[in-house]
Amino acid sequence: MKAKKVYLIGAGPGRPDLITVRGLNILRQADVVVYDYLIDKKLLDEAKPGASLISSEPLGKKRYSGRSCSAQKKINELVVSEAKKGKCVVRVKNGDPSVFSRVSEEIAELIKNRIEFEIVPGVTAANAAAAFSGIPLTDRRNSSSVVFLTGHESNGKKETGIDWNSIAKFDSIVIYMGVNNISGIATRLIESGKPLDTAVALVSNAGDINQKTVRGRLKNIAAKVKEQDIEPPAILLIGKNVGLERDFNWIKKNKRVLFTGLSKERFFTDATYCHIPLIKIEPLDDYKEFDSRLRKIRDFDWIVFASRYGVEHFFQRLREIGYDTRVLNGMKIAAVGTSTKTSLLAFGISADLVPQRESSEGLVEEFKKIDLKGKRIFLPRSDISDKGLEKEFQRLGAIVTTSFVYKNTIAKDLPDLDLTSFDEVMFTSPSTVRNFKKRYGRLPENVKAKCIGDVTLREARRCRLSD
Ligand code: SAH
């Protein structure tokens, strides 16, 4: 069998959406994904179901940087052997594959085994650190040269091979893997002629929700970094441009909002949105009761969808029991809001009713305009939905059947967050409110809760997260 081509993809740093479109398209087709531990693991959700996901770090070792030769050898062997089995192997590297990431060793192995390969570039940490801290890498007025180097070995003792006199001549200096040797790096640069008050910024976790920037001068940056207890991964940016950040910094001027819902595609232009979904949507373990309702769906006059997950799981079940959308011909269908309506459109259905006010209450208001006496309504819902909507419809004279079609649980492995770095937390459902309370407790003073829908707002008030 001919070995399959291997892809070495750059995932970008810090957040899952900095990968290129090409990288993402390839990742989605992979049979085997071997990933570096620094990549955002949410990216792995993009792999197809059943793909093997393999971390390239030695098991049980919590090392920060560098990898032992034997571990590197094992990765190389694995990539080669899987490709030879005809599998599509994708190596996912943090940042860009060709910047400080031992890509040449992996390529040498592929060439030795006559396996075709392709490198898909990624956003390197330097670019992300610069963009997300508002520091330009070059500038027409005062920086026409930039150099990238590793600070890994520059601790002032070892012979590093780095010619610091040449490095000091660059206008902008970008140092990877330099946090632990920051004091040695500063000393070397000062000894090599850089002025003591050259501006420096250390950007840790660039692009990530917990990004931190420490600003200082060559003479005091080491002390400042120590004081603030900054951990790798971090990038050091050195040069006049670092001072320009005051004019350029779009991050500081923007409102920062923590978005707790699931909709990855939401993109708001009025602020910087950080996505930490607090809920997880999953299929039920048992569909006996739902499927039996579905088989008699034509007994109903209306189907009311209160969320897009309801829509997605409803149609999944419809397929599972061997039906398709034609069974709904002539039935009336309502959607609670725009995203539910859009989900319906994907199944070829244009909703008969979508309230102006996108909430359960808005739905009820609209239904008040219709004679619901004796009408049979089907409500496919989540296992934790409240009875509010059902009761309101009953009050209007309808006969309501609620049936669970998906599970809504708390997201796992939620990260520690510095909540004070946000201006606002946006809640998209009562479950996001409850899960926030469970995981993070209270909102710091000055951080506002913003709620989508009245039911969510009520829950936020009950949990004392909103006035
Ligand atoms: N190939 C990667 C670099 C790997 S070396 C790239 O192109 O970015 C690992 C170093 O990259 C870290 O020590 C740190 O200096 C830098 N780095 C990686 N991710 C980072 C992040 N999110 N924020 C700041 N620096 C990061």
Here the CATH number for the domain that contains residue 258 is 3.40.50.10090
- 214 assigned to some structural domain: yes
Give which of 458, 358, 420, 459 is closest to 212, Cα–Cα. 420
Check pocket membership of 13 for ligand 1, CB cut-off 6 A: yes
- 467 assigned to some structural domain: no
Which of ligand 1's atoms lies nearest the C-alpha of 14? 22
Q: Count H helices, E strands: the chain?
A: 16, 19
pLDDT of residue 2: 86
pLDDT of residue 271: 79
pLDDT of residue 65: 45
- 108 assigned to some structural domain: yes
Q: What average pLDDT is seen over the chain?
A: 91
Q: Sort strands 399-410 and 279-283 into parallel, antiparallel or unpaired.
A: antiparallel
- 38 assigned to some structural domain: yes
- 365 assigned to some structural domain: yes
Q: For residues 168 and 288, state if they share a domain.
A: no
Which of ligand 1's atoms lies nearest the C-alpha of 207? 22
Check pocket membership of 125 for ligand 1, CB cut-off 6 A: yes
Q: Taking the C-alpha atoms of 146, 149, 154 and 160 in order, what is their torsion angle to the nearest 10 degrees?
A: -110
Q: How far apart are CA 359 and CA 350, in angstroms?
A: 19
- Where do we find the tokens 């910087």? 272
245-257: b (≥16 Cβ within 10 Å) or e? beebeeeeeeebb
Contacts of 76 (CB under 8 A, 6+ apart): 105, 106, 109
Check residue 5 and report its DSSP letter: P
Kindly name the residue from 1, 61, 270, 413 that is annotated as catalytic.
Answer: 61
- 401 assigned to some structural domain: yes
Kindly name the residue from 31, 93, 96, 177 that is annotated as catalytic.
Answer: 177
Q: For residues 65 and 95, state if they share a domain.
A: yes
Give the type of residue at 112.
K
Q: Which two tokens stand for residue 104?
A: 């040449």
Question: One digit per residue, pLDDT tens: the chain, 467 residues?
Answer: 789 999 999 999 988 999 999 999 999 999 999 999 889 888 999 999 999 999 987 544 444 445 566 788 888 999 999 999 999 999 999 999 999 988 998 999 999 999 999 999 999 999 999 998 889 999 988 899 999 999 976 444 454 578 999 999 999 999 999 999 999 999 999 999 999 999 999 999 998 888 899 999 999 999 999 999 888 999 999 998 887 766 665 556 678 899 999 876 666 667 788 889 999 999 999 999 999 999 999 999 999 999 999 999 999 999 999 999 999 999 999 999 998 999 999 999 999 999 998 888 899 999 999 999 999 999 999 999 888 899 999 999 999 999 999 999 999 989 899 899 899 999 998 999 999 999 999 999 999 999 988 889 999 999 999 88
Give which of 177, 171, 297 is closest to 235, Cα–Cα. 177
CA geometry: angle at 279 spanning 418 and 364, to 5°? 120
pLDDT of residue 273: 84
Residues β-bridged to residue 400: 377
Distances (CA, A) of 255 to 248, 269, 270, 319, 382: 15, 10, 8, 43, 33
Q: For residues 88 and 134, state if they share a domain.
A: no
Strand-by-strand arrangement of the 234-238 sheet: 146-150, 172-176, 234-238, 199-204, 212-217
Check residue 18 and report its DSSP letter: G
Check pocket membership of 237 for ligand 1, CB cut-off 6 A: no
Best of 72, 92, 94 to mutate for ligand 1, by most ligand atoms within 8 A of CB?
Answer: 94
Q: Residue 194 sits in a domain of what CATH number?
A: 3.30.950.10
Residue 273 DSSP SS3: strand
Q: For residues 261 and 208, state if they share a domain.
A: no
Domain count across the chain: 4
Residue 8 DSSP SS3: strand
Check pocket membership of 235 for ligand 1, CB cut-off 6 A: yes
Cα(130) to centroid(ligand 1), Å = 12
Q: Is 255 a catalytic residue?
A: no
Nearest CA residue ID for atom 6, ligand 1: 95
- 420 assigned to some structural domain: yes
Q: Residue 72 sits in a domain of what CATH number?
A: 3.40.1010.10
How many C-beta neighbours within 10 Å does residue 415 have?
9
Q: Which two tokens stand for residue 21?
A: 């479109």
Distances (CA, A) of 202 to 215, 247, 251, 317, 434: 7, 18, 16, 51, 36
pLDDT in tens, 388-422: 899 999 999 999 999 999 999 999 989 899 899 89
Whether this prediction's pTM lies above 0.85 is answered by: no
pLDDT in tens, 291-324: 999 999 999 999 999 999 999 999 999 999 999 9
Domain of residue 428, residue span: 254-278+411-462
Q: For residues 261 and 342, state if they share a domain.
A: no
Distances (CA, A) of 25 to 19, 43, 119, 125, 256: 10, 12, 14, 22, 30
Q: Is 36 a catalytic residue?
A: yes
Cα(340) to centroid(ligand 1), Å = 39
Which of ligand 1's atoms lies nearest the C-alpha of 232? 13
Q: How far apart are CA 117 and CA 36, in angstroms?
A: 18
The answer to whether 161 and 189 have CB atoms below 8 angstroms apart is no
pLDDT of residue 64: 45
The answer to whether 294 and 323 have CB atoms below 8 angstroms apart is yes
- Can you say how many angstroms the Cα of residue 335 is from the centroid of all Cα atoms in its chain? 28
Q: Where are the beta strands (DSSP E) in 193-276?
A: 199-204, 212-217, 234-238, 256-259, 272-275
Best of 120, 177, 179, 210 to mutate for ligand 1, by most ligand atoms within 8 A of CB?
Answer: 177
Q: How many residues does the chain have?
A: 467
pLDDT of residue 30: 97
